[in-house]
Amino acid sequence: MLRTALVTGSLIVTALLPQGSSGQGPLPARLADTGGGSQLITAVAPAPGSTTGRLTWWDRRAGRWYEAGSAPARFGANGLTEGSSRIQGTDTTPTGLYALPYAFGIRQAPAGTEYRYRRVTQHSWWCQDNASVSYNRWVEPLPADCAPGEAEHLVTYEKQYAHALLIAFNYDRPVRGRGAGIFLHVNGKGATAGCVSVPAGTMRAILRWAAPRRGPHIAIGTESGELAVTRY
């Protein structure tokens, strides 16, 4: 199960198991914070060093959580780490509870997608340059202050970014050096550089299921209880 510790400041660290919980019932029902909406995605690895795990998406109806689907997931090549202390370039997936601001992809949005969906073009980049004013942002074209070697040319990831959702890690108020470009996307050849990835069919299913009006979030953590889940 996922655990937490309380900190102060701009970060609110929320317990995945409320005090006195019996640990029974679906995972979202055992979380102290699910983002306030009626949809939730959980991405859970067996242990911090794991590169694989399980992604499940849930609906809340009439006060109860119901599983809508589940699939194998992949994580960073160096496992998972607490989101508030993650270091850029470590190939780790940040644990935490995050919003999902918008979807994007090289291919057309799956039929039924309600999310705002941004199509990738030859001019689409994700800036990861800590010196740029566009750090951790989609840019078109690549600005002069964002070095090409410090940015992802999105169109070159034809398989992974066929369809994706932005995970709002370090997004609203970016901290330089913490990390940029964390997405839920289609599987590549193996572990990711810090994103969460799933099979192509699963990614399409999630985009058809997710409804922004229902406030979906993603909770990333471990079964072993060695990592906290931080909500920004």
| 44-60 pLDDT per residue, tens | 999 999 999 999 999 99
What is the spatial distance between Cα 176 and Cα 185, in angstroms, rounded to a whole number?
23
Consecutive H or E run containing 208: helix 200-209
Rounded to two decimals, the pTM is: 0.90
Give the model confidence (pLDDT) of 6-62 as tens digits: 232 222 333 344 333 445 689 999 888 999 999 999 999 999 999 999 999 999 999
**Residues β-bridged to residue 230:** 13
Residue 30: per-residue pLDDT: 86
Q: Enumerate residues 6+ apart whose C-beta is below 8 A from 89.
A: 179
Question: Tokens 């990738």 label which residue?
Answer: 120
- Number of C-beta neighbours around residue 226 at 10 A: 15
- State how far the alpha carbon of 121 is from the alpha carbons of 92, 101, 118, 164, 184, in Å: 27, 19, 9, 14, 19
Helix (H, G, I), strand (E, B) or coil at 198: strand
Q: Is 92 exposed, middle or buried (0-12, 13-18, 19+ CB in 10 A)?
A: buried
